[in-house]
């Protein structure tokens, strides 16, 4: 099976975290025996990436004998579906179905228009993969599969706290809260994390908020082992990888009830769902810092290992190709004539 993976986000030397989940999945598919090629949409002028990609896609399809195209994000899926030569599978990640949150905490109007187009796209592609049941409810077609992204358990694993801090140059006596996202992205709601950290620091000067993004996956895993709590106050999510990665590192979590966070956390110790309230966040964080525990999160997300998720994705590919063969066989049926004398 030969698959062309299309994406507009993929790690670069300048930003190794950019689309790292796409790379992780592509690598796991290769290990499973899928012949994977990448079409990464890049360019200095981002608005030109999409029209340019239409021509790039056609060129790649002429050059290689692909069984299907797998597009990451609905916007890329729109480009993938400009051709009907091979089947298209689209993985939706969140905003492309739910809309994009702006600085005021509301959904931007333009993003709702884009989300409507992405929902319409799901009716035209051969299969849609979504991250959560909430996202699946946005679509009304039988070819929708809920498959959250996998966790790289080889990278995201517990490391002794003191050892991780020494590797990162962090102080052993401090209490660190981790905000692992770009604070300039409105949906991540950094002001709430900052306010909760500030409130706690008034009582305990040893507390510090670490803001981490644009790090390699290996260094991010070290930050998770070095920290005391992951603070995750997002407005909206699909299936946030940061939560699953923190679970794999046994890092306590305080998060809002978004996407599939409640489902992923489940009964794990010292992982809490909060209302988006500064005092409630600060209270839960304070409870954790009083004991500075590690969780049992890793055992609760074993089902999201790369092999298991990869198997489900390959299953979607195989179903799509079987359906295509049936359609082609139906179209190829010869006309039957009854000859009479």
HEC readout, the chain: CEEEEEECCCCCCCCCCCCHHHHHHHHHHHHCCCEEEEEECCCCCHHHHHHHHHHHHHHHHHHCCCCEEEEECHHHHHHHCCCCCCCEEEECCCHHHHCCECCCCCECHHHHHHHHHHHHHCCCCCEEEECCHHHHCCCCCCCEEECCCCECCCCCCCCCHHHHHHHHCCCCCCEEEEECCCCCCHHHCHHHHHHHHHHHHCCCCCEEEEECCCCCHHHHHHHHHHCCEEEECCCCCCCCHHHHHHHHCCCCEEEECCCCHHHHHCCCCCEEEECCCHHHHHHHHHHHHHHCCCCCHHHHCHHHEHHHHHHHHHHHHHHHHHHHHHHHHHHCCCCCCCCCC
Q: Which residues of 6-31 are buried (b: 16+ CB within 10 A; e: fewer)?
A: bbbbbbeeeebbebbbbbbbbebbee
Q: Between residues 277 and 332, which one has the greater pLDDT?
A: 277
Cα–Cα distance, 151 to 306 (Å, whole number): 6
Q: What is the mean pLDDT of residues 116-121?
A: 95
Q: What is the pLDDT of residue 332?
A: 61
Is the residue at 336 inside a domain? no
Q: Are residues 293 and 198 in the same domain?
A: yes
Q: What is the pLDDT of residue 258?
A: 96
Q: What is the pLDDT of residue 334?
A: 57
Q: What is the pLDDT of residue 52?
A: 93
Is the residue at 338 inside a domain? no
Q: What is the pLDDT of residue 103?
A: 87
Do 68 and 126 contact (CB within 8 A), yes or no? yes
Cα–Cα distance, 307 to 153 (Å, whole number): 11
Is the residue at 102 inside a domain? yes
Is the residue at 70 inside a domain? yes
Number of domains in the chain: 2
Q: Between residues 168 and 328, which one has the greater pLDDT?
A: 168
Q: What is the pLDDT of residue 328?
A: 82
Q: Are residues 214 and 140 in the same domain?
A: no
Residue 304: HSE in the Cβ half-sphere, 13 Å Cα cutoff: 29
Q: Are residues 166 and 257 in the same domain?
A: yes
> Above 70 in pLDDT, residue 143?
yes
Q: Are residues 172 and 146 in the same domain?
A: no
Q: Are residues 142 and 228 in the same domain?
A: no
Encoding tokens for residue 307? 């092999």
Q: Are residues 211 and 284 in the same domain?
A: yes
Q: Are residues 54 and 95 in the same domain?
A: yes
Print the domain residue range for 8.
2-150+305-331
Cα–Cα distance, 229 to 233 (Å, whole number): 12
Q: Are residues 13 and 111 in the same domain?
A: yes
CATH code, domain with 209 = 3.40.50.2000
> Above 90 in pLDDT, residue 141?
no
Residue 188: HSE in the Cβ half-sphere, 13 Å Cα cutoff: 19
> Above 60 in pLDDT, residue 95?
yes
What percentage of the chain has pLDDT greater than the value 70? 97
Q: Are residues 131 and 208 in the same domain?
A: no
Q: What is the mean pLDDT of residues 72-78?
A: 96
Q: What is the pLDDT of residue 341?
A: 44
Is the residue at 156 inside a domain? no
Q: What is the pLDDT of residue 333?
A: 58
Split at pLDDT 50, 70, 90, the class of 44 is confident
Is the residue at 63 inside a domain? yes
> Above 70 in pLDDT, residue 337?
no
Is the residue at 337 inside a domain? no
Q: What is the pLDDT of residue 335?
A: 54
Is the residue at 340 inside a domain? no
Residue with token string 């000067």 = 205
> What residues pair up with 70 in beta bridges, in sequence order?
5, 89
Do 270 and 252 contact (CB within 8 A), yes or no? yes
Q: Considering the entire predicted model, what is its pTM? A: 0.91
Q: What is the mean pLDDT of residues 165-177?
A: 97
> Above 60 in pLDDT, residue 275?
yes
Q: What is the pLDDT of residue 131?
A: 95
Q: What is the mean pLDDT of residues 92-106?
A: 92
Q: Are residues 106 and 183 in the same domain?
A: no
Q: What is the pLDDT of residue 329?
A: 82
> Above 70 in pLDDT, residue 150?
yes
Closest CA to 232 of 304, 173, 284, 269: 284
Q: What is the mean pLDDT of residues 265-271?
A: 95
Q: Are residues 318 and 268 in the same domain?
A: no
Count of beta carbons in the 10 Å neighbourhood of residue 48: 11
What phi and psi, each to the nearest 5 degrees, are found at residue 185? -85, 115
Encoding tokens for residue 328? 């082609």
Q: Are residues 72 and 135 in the same domain?
A: yes
Count of beta carbons in the 10 Å neighbourhood of residue 102: 15
> Above 90 in pLDDT, residue 304?
yes
Q: What is the mean pLDDT of residues 159-166?
A: 98
* Separation of CA 233 from chain center: 17
């Amino acid at each position: 099976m030969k698959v062309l993976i299309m994406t507009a986000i993929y790690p670069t030397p300048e930003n190794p975290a950019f689309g790292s989940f796409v790379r992780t999945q592509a690598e796991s598919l290769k290990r499973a025996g899928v012949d994977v090629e990448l079409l990464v949409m890049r360019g200095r002028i981002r608005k030109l990436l999409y029209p340019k990609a239409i021509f790039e896609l056609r060129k790649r399809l002429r050059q290689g004998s692909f069984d299907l195209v797998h597009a990451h994000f609905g916007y890329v899926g729109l480009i993938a579906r400009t051709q009907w030569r091979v089947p298209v599978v689209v993985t939706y990640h969140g905003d492309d179905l739910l809309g994009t949150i702006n600085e005021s905490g509301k959904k931007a109007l333009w993003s709702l228009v884009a989300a409507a187009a992405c929902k319409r796209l799901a009716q035209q592609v051969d299969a849609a993969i979504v991250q959560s049941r909430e996202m699946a409810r946005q679509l009304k077609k039988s070819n929708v599969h809920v498959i959250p992204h996998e966790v790289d358990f080889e990278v995201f694993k517990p490391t002794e706290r003191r050892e991780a801090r020494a590797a990162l140059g962090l102080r052993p006596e401090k209490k660190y809260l981790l905000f692992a996202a770009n604070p300039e992205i409105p949906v991540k709601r950094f002001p709430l994390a900052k306010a909760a950290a500030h409130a706690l620091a008034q009582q305990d000067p040893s507390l510090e908020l670490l803001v981490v993004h644009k790090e390699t996956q290996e260094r991010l895993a070290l930050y998770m082992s070095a920290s005391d709590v992951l603070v995750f106050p997002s407005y909206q999510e699909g299936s946030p990888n940061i939560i699953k990665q923190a679970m794999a590192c046994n890092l306590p979590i305080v998060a809002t009830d978004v996407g599939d966070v409640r489902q992923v956390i489940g009964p794990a110790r010292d992982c809490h769902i909060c209302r988006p309230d500064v005092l409630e966040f600060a209270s839960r964080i304070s409870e954790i810092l009083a004991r500075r525990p590690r969780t049992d999160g890793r055992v609760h997300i074993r089902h999201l290992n790369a092999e298991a998720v990869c198997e489900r994705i390959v299953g979607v590919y195989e179903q799509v190709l079987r359906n295509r063969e049936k359609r082609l066989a139906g179209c190829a049926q010869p006309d039957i004539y009854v000859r009479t004398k």
